[in-house]
Structure 1
Amino acid sequence: MKETNGKTQPLQLTFRNPPDNYFFMSWNWPLIRKVCLWIFLSGLVAMVGLVIAMISTLPNKCNPPTQWYQGNVLYEIFPASFYAEDKMVGDLKGISKKADYFIKLGVRGVRLNSIFASQNYPHDFENVTSLVNIEPSLGDLTEFKVLVKTLKSRNISLILDLPVYPLVKQLSHRKMNEVKNFTIPEPTKDLIEEALQHWVINGVDGFYLKDLEHLVDDPNFASSLRIWKKIVGQDRILIVSENVVNQAPKSIINIVLNNIDLVDVILDIKSGATAVSKQIGLIQNSTLFSKPGMPWIHWSLGNVKSRRLANVLPYGNATLGATLFQLMLPGTPSIFYGDEIGLNEISDPEGQIQDIKHLHQLAMMPWQGQRRRMLPWIHGKEFTPHYDQIKLISEMTAVREKSPSIYMNSVYKEGINKANAEVKYAQKEFLVVQRWYPRRKAYVVACNLGSSQLSVDLSTLLYSGEIIVGPREDSKPGSISFKDISLWPGESVVIVLH
């Protein structure tokens, strides 16, 4: 509208006459619409397919991660007694041939007791003359590399015992020079540093520094430990005895804890439920559980120096129950070869082989389906291996591997780090330990450490659950009430709580 002489008149709009045909009017619009529709539908289908693929590849569990040595099962071997195919002593080649046995057991690392040359191996296996030269009767470096390759192809790490004392009685003062990925001491390497670098290059993933507690008062102990850890790196481990932690001066204890990965603790299971409960409590209340990042516990029931588990427990076939209990503890359990089948030490009632009394626990490992060999360096009476125990131990390691309540060692919450294990009951040689983790199922292991059948009422502590492992080889899974739980001597049962 516009105003003219005071009057409002309609506004006239004029347009140019359009051309008869715009250029796009001749396009094939039906085809264009079909193409656009198919492109849209194809894109929609592709997006739906992508979403489905992403969902299908998501892990069905979100378990907290750990390092390879944390919470997994290790296996300790005395090489001369493990497997001898055609020689008079077990060797590295024999261990390679039995690599699938480790898979069957569910172990993540294999630890070899001293493989180093000595004057009279294996009788004086601890008195080594070198930390780099392999005992010739066990094999050579080529066979060692084959063993490393064989184990790594099965995702199994190799750990070596390094008997540092008494070969090394004094640590030298070192200066550190950073060269690429290694910290190389100057001006020359000492025996331990040379050994660590040598075996790291040859594929070893960890070292147990044996008898290191004899050197904790050395003025160069802290600096040496730092160098050793830098040589092996963060992906490889250093193991020490709990005596190192207990005996280290307070002024260097933080350095010690920051440069070791596992602390070996021998569980005094032969002393009964009360002693074991007290030992577990002391460890859980120690510095090792005070905060995240502390070294993990390396639980042992026996080792190369101790008597056989089957010979010290009060009941003849108690090794299965003890091992199941060990596999339920917070930390890294280590099985000594043969304990999984109840291997006995050498029987010598007439005292005919007292010259090797310190080796009686290192009996030859028997293998199912193979005639047991009596090696000339160590022999004794036949015994009946409990091969059927292997199945239950394998089942337990499988449960442990997938259950954070078991393989984790602690829970960090609101600034407090706490072991995720609790002794629920420890009376009359009957021991019950509960394992738990936030938003995960809780587990219980009940163990009879006595010499007679025991029945207890745990209904005020626990309600009910499902038996998943044990107590015997022929046991079947099923529900269980804690109103009346009964176990024979040496038995353990693992239960997932409702």
Structure 2
Amino acid sequence: MPELTWWQRGVIYQVYPRSFQDSNGDGIGDLAGVGARLEYLAALGVDAVWISPIYPSPMADFGYDVADYCNIDPIFGTLDDFQQLLDRAHALGLKVLLDFVPNHSSERHAWFEESRSSRDNPKRDWYLWRDPAPDGGPPNNWLSRMGGSAWQWDAHTGQYYYHAFLREQPDLNWRNPEVRRAMDEVLRFWLARGVDGFRVDVLWLLIKDAQFRDNPPNPAFTPGEPEHHRLLQTYTEDQPEVHEIVRSMRATLDEYGERVLIGEIYLPVPQLMRYYGASGDGANMPFNFQLLNAAWNAAGIGRIICDYDRALPEHAWPNWVLGNHDNPRVASRLGAAQARVAAVLLLTLRGTPTLYYGDEIGMTDSAIAPEQVRDPAELRQPGIGQGRDPERTPMQWDSSLPNAGFTSGRPWLPVNSTTSVASQSDDASSMLSLHRRLLSIRRSYAALVDGSIEHVTANGNVLTYERRSGTQRLLIALNMSAADAAVYLPPGIVLLSTIPGRDSGPITEGVDCLAGGEALIVRLG
């Protein structure tokens, strides 16, 4: 096997900067705050920090509406602040990844302001403009992922523009070579500063149907789902031409050495695999989100692992995501005991794991009162569970009230102070200690980094698999239920159990009892 790159060996940690650490008392996390917590991340044992958007923005979608791709929003700091953070991270051995949001800009971006100024403006074709339908309505039936039509009428120029998300987020026209060149320069701007890679937002949405055909109805639509699910996204996502764009982005990053291109792509596995590129010239890692919404049982998770591993092209490197800023937190989905099992799963599977901030201390979704809702997804489609505020609440650093060490001011979202880094740091049985041990074991055993995954087996609700590298073999056993369960264990040494009190040490061959919610790592032989 060729020597692995840093992003194949490493663990990525996602920081949602508004919620990580506030340094100036305005209630919003910032770059200085992130920088002040880098030592914590290095000690935790992660290898790279992915920072969600920090660009200038009106914050209609909290930074995913970019008004300037080559600067920092004053809420977060300055370019100098970012450079200091980057340099400090590198000194600590941490890589830094930025969010790249190329599908759409803010309506206040200078490009769009020019585009909407007149039909003959040179940047008119940088966005998707269409004449009204014969009845004067939208050009077709495309729907916004934030609710309602995806077309916004512009009275000044007498046309509609397309927005896959909020009307404040017009979609760029990636069929236009000038847009591609401009976005390539954005990548180069940050790469030249030393950024180690990018997570590309909604990568599979960049190209839309050239004929603007209506999307067909979705026969499986169920009332209560997001409105855009009424239609199959046949002409608004995963278009064949998108792969040329992915290859171009990858080629740019490759010019700068060992950088990583990660794609946010919510697609079934067969389509997802195509984003690696036919010869490995696509995204280094199209994000694998299968664990985010999977039914939590041994047979189902085992099937996901096997099917994904078999589907990977020979040149492809796997990855796994257990939580992020768009989905309920692991501890809320699964409960505290199974969140510990899930941590073992994430950090022992073959491939690169991504860890969402706060999951290492078992943070749960916070209750958000109606008057505290900030997320436009919930404000526009209330009551259907699309709100993402609960999983974006501030990091819980200590036991100080009312804001758990996050800010001295009023936090932008309420703080859930039920647990904290400080309260768990010296507790050997805590979730934080479990993550520190898992990350230490991962660094110590090649089988967990470059090893194969073999013998994936579900027996009742116990999932077992083996990681192997040369003569080194590790057995992972996960009890994915609350009931005790019998499991056959070969002779070996227990390296870790998620149940406090189970001693590490040698075991003899035979049937053992896994407590409900227990996970084991056993060194075999």
TM-score, structure 1 as length reference: 0.74
Provide closer, same or farther for how the CA distance between residues 429 and 252 of structure 1 changes in structure 2, counting only shifts above 3 A.
closer
For residues 421 and 219 of structure 1, what CA distance do their matches in structure 2 show? 32
Provide closer, same or farther for how the CA distance between residues 72 and 100 of structure 1 changes in structure 2, counting only shifts above 3 A.
same
For residues 468 and 477 of structure 2, what CA distance do their matches in structure 1 show? 15
User: Counterpart in 1 of 2:173?
Assistant: 170
User: Counterpart in 2 of 1:353?
Assistant: 372
- Pairwise CA distance, 1:191: 4.0
User: Counterpart in 2 of 1:229?
Assistant: 250
Q: How does 1:361-380 map to 2 (within 5 A)?
A: 361-368=391-398, 372=404, 373=406, 375-380=410-415
Is the 8 Å Cα contact of residues 319 and 352 (structure 2) preserved in structure 1?
Answer: yes
Provide closer, same or farther for how the CA distance between residues 378 and 424 of structure 1 changes in structure 2, counting only shifts above 3 A.
same
User: Counterpart in 2 of 1:272?
Assistant: 297
Alignment pair present for 1:404 and 2:446: yes
**Which of 480, 490, 495 pairs up with 1:468?**
495
Alignment pair present for 1:449 and 2:480: yes
For residues 276 and 39 of structure 2, what CA distance do their matches in structure 1 show? 40
Tell me the amino acid that sits aligned with residue 36 of structure 2: K
User: Counterpart in 2 of 1:393?
Assistant: 435
Alignment pair present for 1:204 and 2:195: yes
User: Counterpart in 1 of 2:324?
Assistant: 303
For residues 444 and 243 of structure 2, what CA distance do their matches in structure 1 show? 37
Segments of 5+ residues of structure 2 without an aligned counterpart are 106-170, 208-237, 376-386, 425-429
Provide closer, same or farther for how the CA distance between residues 273 and 247 of structure 1 changes in structure 2, counting only shifts above 3 A.
closer
SS in 2 for 1:457: strand
- Pairwise CA distance, 1:169: 3.5
**Which of 31, 45, 62 pairs up with 1:124?**
62
For residues 34 and 475 of structure 2, what CA distance do their matches in structure 1 show? 35
SS in 2 for 1:434: strand
Q: How does 1:53-68 map to 2 (within 5 A)?
A: 65-68=3-6
- Pairwise CA distance, 1:463: 1.6
Provide closer, same or farther for how the CA distance between residues 170 and 247 of structure 1 changes in structure 2, counting only shifts above 3 A.
farther
User: Counterpart in 1 of 2:512?
Assistant: 485
Q: CA RMSD in A?
A: 2.8
Provide closer, same or farther for how the CA distance between residues 128 and 317 of structure 1 changes in structure 2, counting only shifts above 3 A.
farther
- Pairwise CA distance, 1:196: 0.5
For residues 50 and 205 of structure 2, what CA distance do their matches in structure 1 show? 22
**Which of 261, 278, 281 pairs up with 1:258?**
281
- Pairwise CA distance, 1:202: 1.3
String of CA shifts for 1:80-104, please: whole Å, max 9, x gaps.
Answer: 1111133211111111111111121
TM-score, structure 2 as length reference: 0.70
Is the 8 Å Cα contact of residues 497 and 521 (structure 2) preserved in structure 1?
Answer: yes
Is the 8 Å Cα contact of residues 276 and 282 (structure 2) preserved in structure 1?
Answer: no
Between 1:441-450 and 1:248-257, the stretch displaced more is 248-257
For residues 93 and 250 of structure 1, what CA distance do their matches in structure 2 show? 38
User: Counterpart in 2 of 1:430?
Assistant: 462
Provide closer, same or farther for how the CA distance between residues 188 and 126 of structure 1 changes in structure 2, counting only shifts above 3 A.
closer
Q: How does 1:12-23 map to 2 (within 5 A)?
A: none
Is the 8 Å Cα contact of residues 298 and 458 (structure 2) preserved in structure 1?
Answer: yes
User: Counterpart in 2 of 1:94?
Assistant: 33
For residues 274 and 332 of structure 2, what CA distance do their matches in structure 1 show? 41
Q: How does 1:210-225 map to 2 (within 5 A)?
A: 210-215=201-206, 217=238, 220-225=241-246
Is the 8 Å Cα contact of residues 331 and 364 (structure 2) preserved in structure 1?
Answer: yes
- Pairwise CA distance, 1:108: 1.1
Q: How does 1:279-318 map to 2 (within 5 A)?
A: 279-286=304-311, 288=312, 290-291=313-314, 294-313=315-334, 315-318=335-338
Is the 8 Å Cα contact of residues 487 and 513 (structure 2) preserved in structure 1?
Answer: no
**Which of 31, 43, 47 pairs up with 1:104?**
43
- Pairwise CA distance, 1:64: 7.2
Provide closer, same or farther for how the CA distance between residues 125 and 475 of structure 1 changes in structure 2, counting only shifts above 3 A.
farther
Is the 8 Å Cα contact of residues 389 and 473 (structure 1) preserved in structure 2?
Answer: no
String of CA shifts for 1:351-398, please: whole Å, max 9, x gaps.
Answer: 443454322101111114655147432005431247232223222222
- Pairwise CA distance, 1:245: 8.4
Tell me the amino acid that sits aligned with residue 457 of structure 1: V
Provide closer, same or farther for how the CA distance between residues 225 and 355 of structure 1 changes in structure 2, counting only shifts above 3 A.
closer
For residues 301 and 104 of structure 1, what CA distance do their matches in structure 2 show? 21
For residues 482 and 118 of structure 1, what CA distance do their matches in structure 2 show? 60
For residues 460 and 73 of structure 2, what CA distance do their matches in structure 1 show? 48
For residues 423 and 77 of structure 1, what CA distance do their matches in structure 2 show? 35
Task: Report the count of equivalent residues.
Answer: 402
Is the 8 Å Cα contact of residues 328 and 391 (structure 2) preserved in structure 1?
Answer: yes
Provide closer, same or farther for how the CA distance between residues 249 and 64 of structure 1 changes in structure 2, counting only shifts above 3 A.
closer
Tell me the amino acid that sits aligned with residue 476 of structure 2: V
SS in 2 for 1:436: strand
For residues 376 and 154 of structure 1, what CA distance do their matches in structure 2 show? 29
For residues 169 and 426 of structure 1, what CA distance do their matches in structure 2 show? 46
Is the 8 Å Cα contact of residues 466 and 477 (structure 1) preserved in structure 2?
Answer: yes
Provide closer, same or farther for how the CA distance between residues 165 and 73 of structure 1 changes in structure 2, counting only shifts above 3 A.
same
For residues 196 and 252 of structure 1, what CA distance do their matches in structure 2 show? 19
User: Counterpart in 1 of 2:263?
Assistant: 240
Is the 8 Å Cα contact of residues 457 and 482 (structure 1) preserved in structure 2?
Answer: no
For residues 127 and 454 of structure 1, what CA distance do their matches in structure 2 show? 49
Provide closer, same or farther for how the CA distance between residues 248 and 318 of structure 1 changes in structure 2, counting only shifts above 3 A.
closer
Q: Percent identity?
A: 22
Provide closer, same or farther for how the CA distance between residues 425 and 377 of structure 1 changes in structure 2, counting only shifts above 3 A.
same
SS in 2 for 1:277: helix
String of CA shifts for 1:63-122, please: whole Å, max 9, x gaps.
Answer: 97311000311111101111113321111111111111112111111111122222236x
Tell me the amino acid that sits aligned with residue 413 of structure 2: I
SS in 1 for 2:97: strand
For residues 295 and 274 of structure 2, what CA distance do their matches in structure 1 show? 35
SS in 2 for 1:132: coil
For residues 69 and 376 of structure 1, what CA distance do their matches in structure 2 show? 33
Is the 8 Å Cα contact of residues 270 and 312 (structure 1) preserved in structure 2?
Answer: no
SS in 2 for 1:296: coil
SS in 2 for 1:142: helix
Q: How does 1:177-192 map to 2 (within 5 A)?
A: 190-192=181-183
Is the 8 Å Cα contact of residues 396 and 416 (structure 2) preserved in structure 1?
Answer: no
String of CA shifts for 1:24-73, please: whole Å, max 9, x gaps.
Answer: xxxxxxxxxxxxxxxxxxxxxxxxxxxxxxxxxxxxxxx97311000311
SS in 1 for 2:469: coil
